[in-house]
Amino acid sequence: MAETKTYREALREAMVHEMDRDESVVLLGEDIGVYGGTHLITDGLYDQYGPKRVIDTPISENGFTGAAIGMAMMGMRPIVEMMTWNFSFLAADQIIQNAAKVRYFSGGQVKVPLVIRGPNGGGVQLSAQHTHSLESFYGHFPGLKVVAPVTPNDAKGMMLTAIRDDNPVIFLEAGALYGTRGEVEDGDNAVPFGKARVAREGSDVTLIAYGRQVNLCLRAADTLEEEDGVSAEVIDLRSLRPFDEDAIVESVKKTHRAVAVQEQWRWFGVASEVAAIIQDKAFDYLDAPVERVSGAEVPAPYARNLELAAFPSERAVANAARRVLYMEEK
């Protein structure tokens, strides 16, 4: 059975599913309790589970994230909400220096079963300090898992997996898509990490993305089909660490052309890694250099038109696909 639900509802459903099943699951974050959550993800949970399991924290990311790590080291399964991932910089010392590394420097004596979740990226005119995509930042650190679901079904299924994982999971939600709807499987639909999803089958070019850029690629694929008769395959990476290299390589072996799309800046980004993996593992199958479509190299602007210009557009993706197909000049 599957029902249409919002991304927001899907996340909440996963947390409720696990909180009912496992008392060690607790939530911490700013205004997640009495207030209901800034993004209403945790709405109603305070009444349902009480203040010892739904812990309203002061505005102090470093403190409560560190406390959650301590809880996790003791066997609890805390889920920390970053009101937005931008604020996680304040907790970066805890996430990077403790959560990611303590298993290693304790010689494997501790586990950190912790989920840190919240909206990633921009798109709603929040300007520079509230608009940031952190996938390559956190994806850089061994010890962390990093996932970025885009469909409501994945939001639920990957959250179930994240909560059950014995490692710290950076759960990057498609914040701009909280209200979007999709079919969500009932019950336990846990989605394993490290498996990409073919969001659209195609034969002429592979568009590779994650998070809300997947939807952009799907629209670009429709445009390419309508305007150029090009069949684009869209790969939703879903999980960035672990990373499904095989899915990309398989698709490129079929299409021989690839475009990697990311909202974040081009330099040192996930798309660079995608391009490198393709040249490493599928070089002989390539008919054109891999294109990258990225955000403009500026702090995010406020004005709507500038913000739109700062992020990849459907047109930019379609044009990049045309370039790797040699339908358009570089």
Query: Is there binding between residue 281 and other proteins (CB under 8 A)?
Result: no
Q: Which of residues 48-67 bind other proteins (CB under 8 A)?
A: 51-52, 57-58, 60, 62-67
CA–CA distance, 109 with 104 (Å, rounded to integer): 8
Query: Given candidates 111, 181, 266, 323, which one binds other proteins under the rule CB under 8 A?
Result: 111
Catalytic residue among 9, 13, 18, 61: 61
DSSP code at position 226: I
Query: Is there binding between residue 124 and other proteins (CB under 8 A)?
Result: no
Q: In whole angstroms, how far apart are CA 52 and each of 45, 138, 268?
A: 11, 29, 41
Query: Is there binding between residue 70 and other proteins (CB under 8 A)?
Result: yes
Query: Is there binding between residue 242 and other proteins (CB under 8 A)?
Result: yes
130 as an active site residue: the answer is yes
In the numeric block, the tokens 């990309």 are attached to: 248
Query: Is there binding between residue 68 and other proteins (CB under 8 A)?
Result: yes
Catalytic residue among 3, 130, 140, 314: 130
Q: Which of residues 194-233 bind other proteins (CB under 8 A)?
A: 194
Query: Given candidates 93, 201, 246, 287, which one binds other proteins under the rule CB under 8 A?
Result: 93
Query: Is there binding between residue 299 and other proteins (CB under 8 A)?
Result: no
Q: What are phi and psi of 257, to 5 degrees?
A: -145, 145
Beta strands in the chain (DSSP E): 2-6, 25-30, 54-57, 77-81, 115-120, 145-147, 169-174, 181-185, 197-200, 205-209, 232-236, 239-241, 258-265, 291-295
C-alpha torsion angle, residues 213, 329, 286, 199 (rounded to 10): 20
CB neighbourhood size of 309 (10 A): 14
- The answer to whether the CB of 194 falls within 8 A of the CB of 242 is yes
Question: Based on CB atoms, which residue is closest to other proteins, 57 or 151?
Answer: 57
CA–CA distance, 266 with 288 (Å, rounded to integer): 19
Site map (CB under 8 A) of other proteins, residues 139-168, x = contact: ---xx-x-------------------xxx-
Question: Based on CB atoms, which residue is closest to other proteins, 55 or 261?
Answer: 55
| Binding footprint of other proteins, residue count (CB under 8 A) | 48
Tokens linked to 298: 């500026």
- Least Å distance, CB 195 to other proteins, is 12
- Least Å distance, CB 166 to other proteins, is 4
- Catalytic residue numbers? 61, 130
Please report, as ranges, the residues that interact with other proteins according to CB under 8 A. Answer: 26, 51-52, 57-58, 60, 62-76, 78, 93-94, 97-98, 102-113, 142-143, 145, 165-167, 194, 241-243
